[in-house]
Amino acid sequence: MPFTAQDIRAARLHLQKTDPVLKKIIRRVGPFRCKVNRDRFQMLVHSIISQQISGAAAQTIQGRLQAAVEPEKVTPETILEFDLGDLRELGVSRQKASYLFDLAQKVQSGQLKLNALSRKKDSAVVQELVQVNGIGVWTAQMFLMFSLARLDVFPVDDLGIRNAIRKSFRPKHQWTRTEMLKLADSWRPYTTVASWYLWQSLEIQENLR
């Protein structure tokens, strides 16, 4: 299910009330425009493809993959119809191809039940997903945020989040991971919304250059 207007309204009010820096960021960025990807398998595929490459490169490979399976969707079955050479021709590295095969096999066999994840707690979702080769805590957190629309996920190890905090909150301070987690305490239970605004703040700063 998507983020509800009621939840987002409550989140914005809470964040603006509890954090003056985020209040300024929210005013500059404007409305919360985060969309939820309801195709859970496809989102995980894209997350694996996106690891350690640029967004533009990931989009290119994702587009090639989609074109290769059309008129069908990217599903466990369509992934398993490829062999390693097929995926390599699409631009997928050997290692990422092995991750995609592992994901597809686990979903197809029922070992990983994506449709059941919405009924589980955040920690349980992470535990389920990290059983797949190539899916770590960060990818699981992105899934919680952008596929399950969980409101209180704070990806403290995300490079963009860490850069945004360093630039917007006491720029000369050498922030530690523990300090960032403590900073986010006041944003709960809406750290997902706070994180989205932090990512957007980097785009604003980039556009001002």
Catalytic residue IDs: 158
Q: Is the CB of residue 29 less than 8 Å from the CB of residue 197? A: yes
How far, in Å, CA of 21 to CA of 127, rounded? 33
Residue 188 identity = R
Distances 130 to 21, 23, 109, 113, 206 between C-alpha atoms, Å:
34, 34, 17, 13, 33
Q: Is the CB of residue 65 less than 8 Å from the CB of residue 90? A: yes
